Amino acid sequence: MAELDILVVEDDDLQRKALFGKLTAWGYATQACDSLVDARRHLAKQRCDLMLLDMRLPDGDGLDFLRERKSAGVGEECIVMMTAFADVTTAVAAIKEGAYDYLPKPFEDEQLRKILRNAGDRTDLSRRVANLSRLTLGEGFEVWQFDDMIGAEGLRDIFEKAQRLAAFPDTTVLVLGESGTGKGMLAKAIHKLSPRADKPFVDINCSAIPAQLIESEIFGYEKGAFTDAKNGKPGLLEIAHGGTAFLDEIGDMELNLQGKLLKVIEDKAFRRLGSARTTSVDVRIVAATSRDLPAMVREGTFREDLYYRLSVVPITMPPLREHPESILPLAEYYLRHFSREIRRDIQGFDPDAGEAMMRYKWPGNIRELRNAVERGAILTAGNTIGARDLALTQDARQAPAAATDEESFSPMTLAEAEKRLIRSVLSSVDGNKNKAADILAVHRTTLYKKIAEYGLG
């Protein structure tokens, strides 16, 4: 059942209460009004997805109210006209004026359920293909938002291209760009805004799965296909059936698997490991890589035919250093997020922090910026973040940590500063070493060694 906010506008007490009770029992969020004055007052404060509007009301005509909503450009909701005067002329007039549907009284439950299902499908689609929106953040920064992604004007064309692609659920997409530029987020946005949104999004990292396991993980296997195959198992492509398979770091996929992937794209079919039977799958492929695929094609390490099938519509996510106008708005956006998450009232960045962020080259791109802001929000002792809190060095461990109310971080040796920084971050994330490693911008193995070295475990 689609989630719908419904407004019933009906002056007959018994009919209004009966309809309200029925819709509520079916699980819909429902409000009810007995006049157009009450409906206008309600809609001024709260939107709705679907309005069940009586044609004859004590303070006006429902059809005139429909025209009023549409002409004012505020009638985004689906409006269904209800009337006891079930004549064709009235129905045609309502539809021409922009009504979504027409419901003659008395009506059966199934008639109402059908309208609710159709309105729900339409509402879901409109939510998925929502236009890009311009946001104004603190300090007057303006950015474009696409699903959960934001960026300054330089990313608008990319967002618009991805939005258009989302409407074509069978088109293969190749997302290129350095690590940390947002390739995975773009892939998720394309899926969420597509007709496949209610089906699975399966993230397959081709560089993270061990070489000896990747074929069985992606394509699945039959019982007895290898020594430990006690039972058959569906692969990740089967799990993604109906939805989207995101093949991250596709450039790391071995040549023999590239041929099987090409068959999936061209024939929508493959064979599980150890099976003679063909498995059909309906899945959209979105692939991403930080590697130079044309160079790999020339070297013979990536199939040319697969490259051209993947790059039907390529999108390149630029490194952060190529759209520096996004740095401060992104930092402001992430600061708002982390301030809420860690329950601290942090007002912003001091001028030194802003200058430091603009000077920094951001080799880790947006991911590194996000981590730096989270680190600064945790470590700052005041209500603003300074350059020292961000620890913007190529290796975050080399930066002196911010002072706290309990202890001073200066003067001290580099090792002591490093130890205190690690201890502070671990404490802020309740000992979660994986998250601490992300915040500190170091590999998990490096962090584990430092924890052991400083006796912080």
Query: What CATH number corresponds to the domain at position 341?
Result: 1.10.8.60
Residues 172 and 283 in one domain: yes
* Separation CA 176–CA 290 (nearest Å): 6
Collapse the DSSP code of 291 into the 3-class scheme (helix H, G, I; strand E, B; otherwise coil) and give the result. coil
- Predicted local distance difference test score (pLDDT) of residue 73: 63
- Residue 123 in any domain: the answer is yes
Domain that holds residue 408: 322-453
Nearest alpha-carbon partner for 347 in 387, 315, 377:
377
- The reply to whether 280 and 305 lie within a common domain is yes
Nearest to 285 by CA among 316, 263, 252: 263
| End position of a domain, from candidates 128, 157, 181 | 128
Residues 399, 429: one domain? yes
Neighbours of 129 (CB within 10 A): 15
Please count the structural domains in the chain: 3
Contact 293, 253 (CB under 8 A): no
Is 44 among the domain residues? yes
Measured CA to CA in angstroms, residue 256 lies from 81, 236, 250, 282, 293 at distances of: 60, 18, 13, 22, 16
Domain of 305, CATH number, reads: 3.40.50.300
- How many CB atoms within 10 Å of residue 240? 24
Measured distance CA(269)–CA(362) in Å, rounded: 42
Distances (CA, A) of 57 to 41, 49, 53: 16, 21, 9
Residue 292 sits in the same domain as residue 349: no
Q: 54 with 24, same domain?
A: yes
Residue 405: per-residue pLDDT? 36
Say if residue 174 is in the same domain as residue 300.
yes
Which CATH number characterizes residue 63's domain?
3.40.50.2300
How many angstroms separate the most distant Cα atoms in the chain? 87
Last residue of a domain, one of 299, 316, 333: 316
Domain boundary among 78, 103, 128: 128
Pairing mode, strands 244-248 and 284-289: parallel
- DSSP E strand boundaries for 264-345: 269-271, 278-280, 284-289, 313-316
400 and 437: one domain? yes
**Would residue 158 count as lying in a domain?**
no
End-to-end CA distance of the chain: 48
Compute the distance between CA of residue 100 and CA of residue 193 in angstroms, rounded to an integer. 23
Report pLDDT for 88: 65
The pLDDT profile of the chain, 457 residues, written as one tens digit per residue, is 457 889 999 999 999 999 999 999 998 889 999 999 999 988 888 878 899 999 889 998 888 898 888 776 665 678 898 887 656 677 778 888 888 888 888 888 998 998 888 888 777 655 555 556 777 776 677 888 888 888 888 898 999 899 889 888 999 999 999 999 999 999 999 998 888 988 999 999 998 888 778 888 999 888 877 777 778 788 999 999 999 999 999 999 999 899 999 999 999 999 888 888 899 999 999 999 999 999 999 999 999 999 999 998 899 999 999 999 999 999 998 998 888 888 888 989 999 999 999 999 999 999 999 999 999 998 898 899 999 999 886 443 333 333 333 343 345 455 676 787 788 788 777 788 888 887 777 777 778 888 888 888 7
Same domain, 308 and 334: no
pLDDT at res. 403? 38
Report yes or no on 173 lying in a domain: yes
- Pair 344, 433 in one domain: yes
pLDDT of residue 5: 87
- Contact between residue 244 and residue 201 where contact means Cβ atoms under 8 Å apart: yes
Shared domain check, 99 and 67: yes
- Same-domain pairing of 181 and 306: yes
Specify whether 97 is located in the same domain as 81.
yes
For residue 139, being part of any structural domain is answered with no
- Looking at the domain assignment, is residue 160 inside a domain? no
Residues 6 or more apart in contact with residue 295 via CB below 8 angstroms: none
Taking the C-alpha atoms of residue 378 and residue 9, their distance in angstroms, rounded to an integer, is 50
Domain assignment present for 157:
no
Q: How many CB atoms lie within 10 A of CB 81?
A: 25
Q: Is residue 28 part of a domain?
A: yes
